[in-house]
Amino acid sequence: MRIATWNINSVRTRAQRAVDLLAKHDIDVLCLQETKVADAKFPREPFEEVGYHVTCHGLNQWNGVAILSKEEPEEVQTFFPGQPGFHKDPAKEQAREARAVSARVRGIEIWSLYVPNGREITDRHFDYKLDFLYSLARYAENRTQSKLLLTGDFNIAPWDEDVWDMSPFRGKTHVTEPERAAFQMLEEAGLVEVTRRFTEEDRWTYFDYKSLRFQKNEGMRIDFQLASEPLARLVEGAQVDMVERAGDKTSDHVPLIADFDVPDFASVR
């Protein structure tokens, strides 16, 4: 079973690129983040025409997540228990944003997640990011005996080697100790990041559009696939599709793909 995650940075802009990606890698499940579209305007047709079911959660032109699957999804959720909300004004309702969606496919509970960016370490958004991760870890802690997969854009570089150069990031988000500790909480909850050991050569999953970062190979590893132990044991390989990032008008993120030894739909039925 091939599962991929990709921060697409606008699904309406890159729907055909996603269709091509599905065909190129024969992907069973593609998790998308930052779709930037409300559900009513999600471009379902191109995906349905090539045989994929669309599960999406978008409220407006910001954030947004989706799961595209060959098989019909079950047990769809558009938030995880305890997921916090956010509004820049603390006096207003802190409503949940469209940052999480899950579906059960072939017995696996798959989440497409767009973790808050954090903006600046003095911003309320930074605290929101940490709260989001703490709540996610508490949820995962009670699910790790089943087949659980958390995929997506985590907006954290857990190790110094996950950025091309630490010096530009000193005092900024994505590399702070609180963020890294929050990511470690997910691992301590019983999750295993399953792509890293297969992708040491092509390890970056994000290149800023600015300053020719991609051309200079100045990237970051901030997209991950975190699996519960029963599922992590089934991983067979992973890859980062750098060719997609090299394309014209592509996303600033790179598709991250993992293969799991999971029976096909007919077998599990």
pTM for this entry? 0.96
**Of the candidate ranges 115-124, 128-137, 228-237, 258-267, the one whose mean pLDDT is the lowest:** 258-267
For residue 229, the tally of other CB atoms under 10 A from its CB is 13
State pLDDT tens for residues 37-49: 999 999 999 999 9
Of the candidates 28, 52, 57, 114, the residue annotated as catalytic is 114
**CA distances from residue 55 to 71, 81, 101, 104, 126 in whole angstroms, order as listed:** 11, 19, 8, 11, 28
- How far is Cα 67 from Cα 105, in angstroms, rounded to an integer? 10
Higher pLDDT pick, 268 / 206: 206
| Mean pLDDT, range 46-53, rounded to an integer | 98
Annotated binding-site residue? 153: yes
pLDDT at 6: 98
Taking only the tens place, the pLDDT of each residue in 116-129 is 999 999 999 999 99
For the residues 68-94, what does the mean pLDDT come to? 96
Cα 269 to chain centroid distance, Å, stands at 28
The single residue of 153, 162, 223, 241 carrying the catalytic annotation is 153
Report the chain's mean pLDDT, rounded to a whole number: 96
CATH 2.60.120.10 is the classification of domain 1-258: no
pLDDT at 94 over 60: yes
252 annotated ligand binder: yes
Q: How far apart are CA 137 and CA 129, in angstroms?
A: 12
Rounded percentage of the chain residues whose pLDDT exceeds 70:
98
254/221 Cα distance (integer angstroms): 10
Residue 268: pLDDT above 90?
Answer: no
Q: Is 83 exposed, middle or buried (0-12, 13-18, 19+ CB in 10 A)?
A: middle
Q: Percent of the chain, pLDDT > 90?
A: 95
What would the pLDDT profile of 136-185 be if each residue is shown by its tens digit? 999 999 998 999 999 999 999 999 999 999 999 989 999 999 999 999 99
Task: Give the number of other CB atoms < 10 A from CB of residue 164.
Answer: 16
- Find all residues with CB under 8 Å of 3, minimum gap 6, and list them: 27, 28, 29, 30, 31, 110, 149, 151, 225, 257, 258, 259, 260
Closest to 96 in 3D by CA, of 56, 63, 130, 118: 63
Residue in 260, 182, 201 with CA at minimum distance from that of residue 225: 260
114 catalytic? Reply is yes
Is 52 a residue of the active site?
no
Mean pLDDT value across residues 64-72: 98
Is 34 annotated to bind a ligand? Reply is yes
- Tokens 């190129």 belong to 24
User: What average pLDDT does the segment 200-229 reach?
Assistant: 96
Cβ-based neighbour number of residue 92 at 10 Å: 8
pLDDT of residue 26: 98
pLDDT at 265: 57
pLDDT of residue 269: 43
| Average of per-residue pLDDT across 67-93 | 96
Beta strands per DSSP E along the chain: 2-7, 29-33, 53-57, 65-69, 74-77, 100-105, 108-114, 148-153, 191-193, 223-228, 235-240, 256-260
Is 109 marked within a binding site? no
User: Is the alpha carbon torsion for 24, 29, 33, 39 positive or negative?
Assistant: positive
> Does 253 qualify as catalytic in the annotation?
yes
Confidence band of 14 (pLDDT split at 50, 70, 90) = very high
Query: How is the chain split into domains, by residue range?
Result: 1-258
Measured distance CA(77)–CA(65) in Å, rounded: 12
**Residue 160 marked ligand-binding:** no
